[in-house]
């Protein structure tokens, strides 16, 4: 989390950037008060900024909404921890970061480190708004940006919001530079956000993608990466001439296929994808077309 003594520059929205801010609190009054404060600060900072505010009364509703819309995690999350039912705000943070993280008891030095800014290479920016000061050490392991203990003031919320927006700007600028570099290299790549941060993955290295629960597992030539996304959303990001949806749970890189039968496809490193009988004819035609194009090249 950000140091209160740190000098902040003025917030200016990145050109063409849109920001999504989620507020999680099971208390309706607390939720509305927080939203009102954020909207006032948004108007003060930049009335024309494209900021979408989302509100949730439970951790389950937040995660289910992301899955239903096939959306990425919000840019900024204000998370209450204690919930009346379902998963709590800390568990939501872990899942948004890409999985359950270990929770050893931190040392005094580590506890102090929670007050430092979160990694500039990872979204969402997490801000806890809670009545449980004793759970602050856990925030270290999900790289929280700020930990506000109730009752907190509107000024504290505004300050945290300003810092979080600046953090988002930095991340979006870095991602834009990576996309620009990829275009110059003429090497398509995918930006994937998992528990380690944002990773740049060359599309040609993806053998196949598999849908497992709320996650997508990318099977690469040398490793696997799991992160939160819908397979349909991933399919739209990848070249349609290179990838084929063989099954509702599998997306295959046609250039990595080793062999196939009527029900499955064999890929490198022993990977196997299901092949739907309803997609078999189309798959064969696409695969043979790929082989022909590769032979010409």
Q: Tens of pLDDT along 197-218?
A: 778 888 889 999 999 887 899 9
Determine the pLDDT at residue 271: 87
Q: What span, in angstroms and rounded, lies between the C-alpha atoms of 66 and 54?
A: 11
Task: Look at the chain and count its residues.
Answer: 297
CATH 3.40.50.2300 matches 18-176? yes
Banded pLDDT at 39 (limits 50, 70, 90): very high
Task: Kindly tell me if the per-residue pLDDT of 112 is higher than 60.
Answer: no
Determine the pLDDT at residue 101: 36
Q: What span, in angstroms and rounded, lies between the C-alpha atoms of 153 and 134?
A: 20
Task: Kindly tell me if the per-residue pLDDT of 59 is higher than 70.
Answer: yes
What is the per-residue pLDDT across 134-186, written as a single tens digit (0 to 9) for each? 999 999 988 899 999 999 999 999 999 999 998 888 877 776 666 666 566 55
Q: What span, in angstroms and rounded, lies between the C-alpha atoms of 217 and 209?
A: 6
Mode of pairing for the β-strands spanning 197-202 and 189-194: antiparallel
Task: Kindly tell me if the per-residue pLDDT of 6 is higher than 50.
Answer: no
b/e for 228-239, b at 16 or more Cβ within 10 A? bbbbeebeeebe
CATH class of the region 188-296: mainly beta
- Closest alpha carbon to 290 in 230, 282, 189, 92: 282
What is the per-residue pLDDT across 235-252, written as a single tens digit (0 to 9) for each? 888 888 899 999 999 999
Q: For residue 163, what are its two tokens?
A: 């810092």
Lowest mean pLDDT among 120-129, 262-271, 284-293: 120-129
Banded pLDDT at 71 (limits 50, 70, 90): low
Average pLDDT over residues 97-102: 52
Residue ranges of the chain assigned to CATH 2.40.50.1020? 188-296
- DSSP letter assigned to residue 5: T
Which backbone phi and psi does 147 adopt, to 5 degrees? Answer: -130, 105
Q: Which of 10-14, 103-107, 271-275: highest mean pLDDT? A: 271-275
Determine the pLDDT at residue 227: 85
Banded pLDDT at 268 (limits 50, 70, 90): confident
> Is-cis flag, bond preceding 151, omega within 30?
yes
Q: What span, in angstroms and rounded, lies between the C-alpha atoms of 82 and 129?
A: 10
Which residues have a Cβ under 8 Å from the Cβ of 218 and sit 6 or more positions away? Answer: 192, 201, 206, 209, 224, 225, 226, 227
Q: What share of the chain is helix, strand, coil (3-state, %, to 5)?
A: 40, 25, 35
What is the end-to-end Cα distance of the chain in Å, rounded?
52
Determine the pLDDT at residue 297: 61
Residue ranges of the chain assigned to CATH 3.40.50.2300? 18-176
b/e for 144-160, b at 16 or more Cβ within 10 A? bbbbbeeebeeebbbbb
């Amino acid at each position: 989390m950000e140091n209160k003594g740190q000098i902040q520059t003025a917030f200016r929205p990145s050109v063409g950037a849109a920001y999504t801010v989620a507020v999680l609190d099971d208390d309706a009054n607390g939720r509305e008060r927080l939203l009102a404060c954020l909207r006032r600060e948004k108007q003060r900072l930049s009335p024309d900024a494209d900021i979408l505010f989302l509100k949730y009364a439970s951790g389950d509703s937040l995660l289910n909404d992301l899955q239903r819309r096939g959306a990425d995690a919000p840019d900024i999350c204000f998370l209450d921890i204690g919930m009346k039912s379902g998963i709590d705000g800390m568990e939501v943070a872990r899942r948004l970061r890409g999985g359950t993280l270990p929770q050893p008891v931190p040392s005094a030095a580590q506890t102090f480190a929670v007050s430092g800014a979160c990694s500039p290479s990872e979204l969402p920016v997490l801000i806890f708004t809670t009545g449980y000061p004793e759970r602050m050490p856990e925030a270290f392991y999900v790289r929280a940006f700020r930990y506000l203990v109730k009752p907190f003031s509107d000024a504290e919320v505004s300050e945290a919001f300003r810092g979080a927006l600046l953090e988002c700007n930095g991340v979006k600028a870095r991602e834009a530079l990576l996309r620009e570099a990829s275009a110059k290299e003429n090497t398509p790549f995918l930006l994937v956000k998992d528990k380690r941060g944002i990773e740049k993955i060359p599309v040609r290295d993806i053998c196949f993608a598999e849908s497992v629960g709320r996650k997508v597992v990318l099977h690469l030539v040398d490793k696997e990466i799991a992160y939160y996304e819908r397979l349909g959303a991933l399919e739209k990001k990848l070249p349609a001439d290179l990838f084929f949806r063989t099954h509702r749970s599998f997306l295959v890189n046609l250039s990595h296929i080793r062999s196939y039968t009527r029900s499955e496809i064999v890929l490198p490193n022993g990977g196997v994808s299901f092949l739907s009988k309803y997609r078999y004819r189309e798959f064969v035609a696409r695969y043979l077309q790929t082989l022909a194009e590769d032979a010409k090249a």
